[in-house]
Structure 1
C-alpha cells in the first residue's frame, strides 16, 4: 500500500521547507534509511531519509520548490500502483504543488548553493561638452543663477558671473565653478567641465534563503520588541594569555581565548542565576541548567550551536565541542536539536579585528555577550603606565528580564574570572 511522505518539521521554528536536492527520481526503488532529499530549513540544510520501502511513485515538491510543513513531499508504494485517490484524499497535495509552481514562476530557483548571475543595466555615458558663450543666463531666460557664496567669491576675484559656466542644478553657479574658473584669452566663458558619469551600473539579486528569512524575522522581533540596554567593561587579559599558553603546551590540548570566555561565562552564570533566564511572555523562566550558545558564521547567515551543561565541562572539553559543532554547522550537517535550548549566548568578532560591538539578543534569552579582540595598549598599573593587553566586553540585556544592577554584577564577576583564570577551576 502506498505511503505519503510529508514535509518534515526539522526545527522548532520551521514552518516551511525548500527541497534543495532530490536523491531519488520517480520510478527509483527506495529502501528504509535511503537518502531521499536534502531539505533546507530556517537553520540548516538537512538530509532526509525514507521511513518506507518501495518505489518512488510521486514527487510533490520539485527541486527548489517551497512547501509548508506536512505538505505532501512524495509518495512511496508498489510499482504501478494507482495513487490518484490517495492524493485526492490527502487534500493538501494540490496546494503543495501549487506552492512549488508559484515559487518557480515568481522567483529564481533557490538551491543549496545559489550561483546568481549578475543582472546588468547599461547606462548611456553622459557627455558634458564645453560651453563657450558670452552669457550664463541665456539658458535661463537671461537670469544668472548662483549660490550666495559663489557670488561673494566672484565679487572678491573680479569675475563676471555671465562668463562662468554653472555645474550645479539648472546650470546654477556654485563654489567649485568659481574656484576652477579660467578665463580664455579672447574673454570667452570658462570651459570648466564637471566630472562626467561614464560607466555601467550592475547589481546581483540573490533570493533570501530560509535561514536568512528566519534570522531576519527572529532578530527583528527581538530588536523591536525587547528593550535592549548595554553594559560594557574592559578586561586585563595578561593572566589569561599566560594561562592559555601554559595549557596549550600540554600535548594534545589546544584551546582558544573564546573557549576560556565561554567557560568563564558558565561559571559567572552559576553565581548569577538571574542572568541565566528567558523571557516567556507571561513569565520569566530562570534556568537551573546552563547551556551556552556560541554564534557561528556560516555561508547563509548565522547559527548558534549550544554547548549543553557548559558549567560542568572543562575548558579543553568546551573547546573541542565548539570546534566540532562549528565545523558541522558550516558543512550543514549539524542537527536542529544541537542549536536549541540555549540559556545564554556569546558572539565573538575578535578574530576579525573588531574591538567593540553590541549584539542583538537571541530570543528568548535575556542576554548575549559580545567579545572583541585582545588589543595591546598602554595601561595604568600601580600608578605607572605599562604595556598591557585589553579585551572589551559588551553585555546586551533585555530590560524585561535583567536589570542594570544584575547585569553589572554578572559582568564584574566575568571580568574577575578572566583576569584570574585559576578561579574558573574552583
Structure 2
C-alpha cells in the first residue's frame, strides 16, 4: 500500500524546512528506519529516516527547496506496485485525510499513462534531478493552472510568501529548481522592489567615501537574533565573576597530554569542572518552565562552537559520568561536525547549562547571554599571567583565568549562584578533584 511521506517537524515550533539532499532515488527500495533525506532547519541538517518500508515512487520537491511542515515530499509504493499506481493510491489516501469542512489540502495527481505524464524533456529533467517532474502536490506550486494565472512564474507557495514578505519581484528572479522553478535559495540576496524601484526614497546615511554592502540574513543568523533577543528581553539575567588561579590546572593538562592518551584542552577541563560543580550543587542543574522548576539528575552541558555565519551549542550528555578522554573526544567530534554543517538537531537540544570560551582569542573577561531554556552559562576568558597577592602578603605572578556566570534569576537566586560558582572555582583550582 502506498505511503505519503510528509515534511517532519524536526524542531519544536518549526513551520518550514527544506530538503537539503535526497539520499534515495525513484525506484530505490527503502527499509524502515533507513535515512532517506537530509532535512535542513535553521541551525542544523538532520537525517530523516523512513517510518515505513517501500519503494520510492516519487520525490516531490527538489533539493534545496523548502515547504511547510506536514506537506507531502515523497511517495513510497509497495513492492511490485508501479509508480503510477502508488501515486494514485497516495492521492486517494490524501483525499480521505482532508478536513470535513472542506479546507483546502494538498492535491495528488490522478494516475495517467506514462506517455501522458510528461514530455521527453520533462522526463529527462525529472531523471536528472531525481524529482518526479510530473507530480505537483501543493496548490499553486507550478501546476498548469497556477502557471497561467501567475504569468508563468514557477514558484512554490512558500517562495511566493517569502517574496511578499521581503518585497521581492519574482519576475526578476531566475529559478534554479527543476524546470526553472524558483526555490528558496534563489531569494537570497535578491533586492526588494522598494530598493530597486525607489533607490532615492531613503535618506543616504553613509558618506560617499564609505561604500557599504548588505549581507542577506541566513536562517541561522535570524534564529540567533530571535532567540537571543527573546533571552535578553524575557529572562532576568544577573552576573557573578570569579578569578581562578589555574597554574595547577595547566600542569595537570601538561601531564595528561604527555602521557599520550589523547589530547585534552583547557576547555575540556573547564567543562568537566562545571559538571562536578553541578553535581555538588544539584539545585543549580535546573531550568525554568511555566509550571515548575525542572531539576535534572543527569548533567548535560552545551558547549558553544563558532561556525561560519554564527554559533552552535551542541550538548554533551552525562558529562558527570564521562571519563575525561571520552569527553574530549566527544566535544571534538561535535565541534568538527558543527563546523561542517553535519550536526543533528537532537544534539542541539536539552541541557541546563552552557560553556562559552573566548580565551583562545585573548579575551580576558566577557558576559554571555543565556541560551533558553537553560538557566546558566559560564563565560571563560584567557589564562594569563597576572600579579596576585600571596599568602604572606607579597606580590607574586600567577596564571589567572576570569570566568563570568550568567544566571536566570527565576531559577538561581544570588546565594545559590554564588554557591555554585565557588564550587566551580574549588574544582578548577584543585584540578585532581575533577578526575575523581
Given the superposition, is the C-alpha separation of residues 403 and 7 from structure 1 closer, same or farther in structure 2, using an over 3 Å criterion? same
3-state secondary structure, aligned to 2:30: coil
Question: Residues of 2 paired with 1:357 and 1:200: CA distance?
Answer: 31
Tell me the residue number matched to 1:145: none
What corresponds to 1:53 in structure 2? Answer: 54
Who is 2:258 aligned against? Answer: 249
**Using a 3 Å threshold, how does the CA distance of structure 1 residues 338 and 102 change in structure 2: closer, same or farther?**
same
Conserved 8 A contact 1:21-1:111:
no
- Whether 1:393 and 2:403 are equivalent positions in the alignment is yes
Q: 2: distance between equivalents of 1:15 and 1:100?
A: 11
Q: Residue 65 of structure 1 contacts residue 101 of structure 1 at CA under 8 Å; is this kept in 2? A: no
Task: Give the aligned partner of residue 65 of structure 2.
Answer: 65
Question: Which of the residues 345, 352, 367 maps onto 2:376?
Answer: 367
The C-alpha deviation readout for 1:376-395, integer Å capped at 9, x for no partner, is 22222232222221111000
Q: Identify the match of residue 232 of structure 2 among 215, 223, 236.
A: 223
1:321 Cα deviation after fit: 1.1
Q: Distance in 2 between matches of 1:366 and 1:89?
A: 46
- CA displacement 1:375-422 (0-9 Å, x = unmatched): 222222232222221111000011111011111111111111111111
The reply on whether 1:288 has 2:288 as its aligned counterpart is no
For residues 126-180 of structure 1, the C-alpha deviation after alignment (integer angstroms, 9 at most, x for no partner) is xxxxxxxxxxxxxxxxxxxxxxxxxxxxxxxxxxxxxxxxxxxxxxxxxxxxxxx
Measure, in 1, the Cα distance between the counterparts of 2:216 and 2:363: 27
Aligned-pair CA distance for 1:425: 3.0
Aligned residue for 2:332? 323
Displacement of 1:24: 5.8
Q: Structure 1 residue 362: deviation in Å? A: 1.5
Q: In 2, are the aligned partners of 1:118 and 1:205 still within 8 Å (CA)?
A: no
Aligned 1:11-410 pairs, distance under 5 A: 11-22=11-22, 28-32=26-30, 36-50=36-50, 51-57=52-58, 59=60, 61-77=61-77, 78-81=82-85, 82-83=87-88, 84-89=91-96, 91=98, 92-93=105-106, 94=138, 97=141, 98-102=156-160, 105-106=163-164, 109-111=183-185, 198-199=208-209, 201-209=211-219, 211-381=220-390, 382-410=392-420
Contact 2:306-2:312 within 8 A present in 1 as well: yes
* SS of equivalent residue, structure 2 residue 377: strand
Q: 1:39 to 1:62 in 2, by over 3 A?
A: same
Distance in 1 of aligned mates of 2:23 and 2:263: 39
Specify whether residues 288 and 46 from structure 1 end up closer, same or farther in structure 2 by C-alpha distance, changes over 3 A only: closer
Task: Please report how far the alpha carbon of residue 85 of structure 1 lies from its aligned counterpart in structure 2 after TM superposition.
Answer: 4.4
| Residues 261 and 324 of structure 1, relative CA distance in 2, 3 Å threshold | same
Report the CA distance shift for 1:23/1:388 in structure 2 as closer, same or farther (over 3 A): same
Q: 1:68 to 1:96 in 2, by over 3 A?
A: farther
Structure 1 Cα separation of the partners of residues 302 and 266 of structure 2: 16
Sort the Cα spacing of 1:301 and 1:52 in 2 relative to 1 into closer, same or farther, 3 A.
farther
> Are 1:20 and 1:110, in contact at CA under 8 Å, matched by a contact in 2?
no
Unaligned runs of 5+ in 1: 122-195
Structure 2: gaps (5+ residues): 99-104, 107-137, 142-155, 167-172, 174-182, 197-205
Deviates more, 1:360-369 or 1:256-265: 360-369
User: Residue 281 of structure 1 aligns to a residue in which SS?
Assistant: coil
The residue aligned with 1:131 is none
Q: Give the superposed CA RMSD.
A: 3.1
Larger radius of gyration: 1
Alpha-carbon separation, structure 1, partners of 2:29 and 2:162: 30
Indicate conservation of the 8 Å contact 1:263/1:314, yes or no: no
> Residue 117 of structure 1: CA displacement?
8.5
> 8 Å contact 2:66–2:184 — kept in the other structure?
no
Within the candidate set 416, 421, 426, 2:426 is matched to 416
Residue 139 of structure 1 aligns with which residue? none
* 8 Å contact from structure 1 (residues 266, 290) kept in 2: yes
TM-score for both structures, normalised by structure 1: 0.73
- Distance, in Å, in 1 between the alignment partners of 2:158 and 2:96 is 20
